[in-house]
């Protein structure tokens, strides 16, 4: 099972990437831990998480092909 993870704003610089693929995480919470292990610096930043264009909590389950995004506070306008 593989999910696509998009990084935005300052998180692009923290992770050095716009997009990465992760396997094995069953929930948003588990995926978040996996990403935090890889990029410990991410803990210093506020962000919310979307699953297929909808903002979700840690307890949401993941399925193959899902698109997840890590989004710092919005700054449009």
Partner 1 sequence: MAVNSIYSMVINYLISGSITPVVITTLIGKLAERTDTGGHSIFLGQVRADEINGKKVRAIEYSAYEAMVRVEADKIKDTILSEFTDTKSIDIVHSTGVVNAGEISLFVLVSARHRKQAIEACSKTVELIKSKLPIWKKEIFEDSSREWRQNISS
Q: What's the closest the beta carbon of residue 42 comes to partner 1, in angstroms?
A: 14
Q: Does 43 bind partner 1 (CB under 8 A)?
A: no
Q: Does 30 bind partner 1 (CB under 8 A)?
A: no
Residue 4: HSE in the Cβ half-sphere, 13 Å Cα cutoff: 8
* CA dihedral sign of residues 69, 9, 48, 74: negative
Residue nearer to partner 1 on the CB measure, 23 or 46: 46
Q: Does 56 bind partner 1 (CB under 8 A)?
A: no
Q: Does 47 bind partner 1 (CB under 8 A)?
A: no
Between the alpha carbon of residue 76 and those of residues 10, 49, 72, 73, the distances in Å are 14, 17, 12, 10
Q: Does 73 bind partner 1 (CB under 8 A)?
A: yes
Q: Does 10 bind partner 1 (CB under 8 A)?
A: yes
The three-class DSSP label of residue 7 is strand
């Amino acid at each position: 099972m593989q999910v696509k993870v998009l990084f935005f704003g300052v998180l692009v610089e923290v992770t050095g990437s716009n997009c990465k693929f992760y396997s094995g995480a069953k929930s948003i919470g588990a995926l978040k831990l996996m990403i935090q292990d890889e990029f410990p610096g991410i803990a210093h930043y506020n962000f919310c998480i979307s699953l297929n264009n909808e903002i979700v909590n840690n307890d949401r389950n993941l399925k193959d092909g899902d698109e997840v995004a890590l989004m710092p506070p919005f700054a449009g306008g």
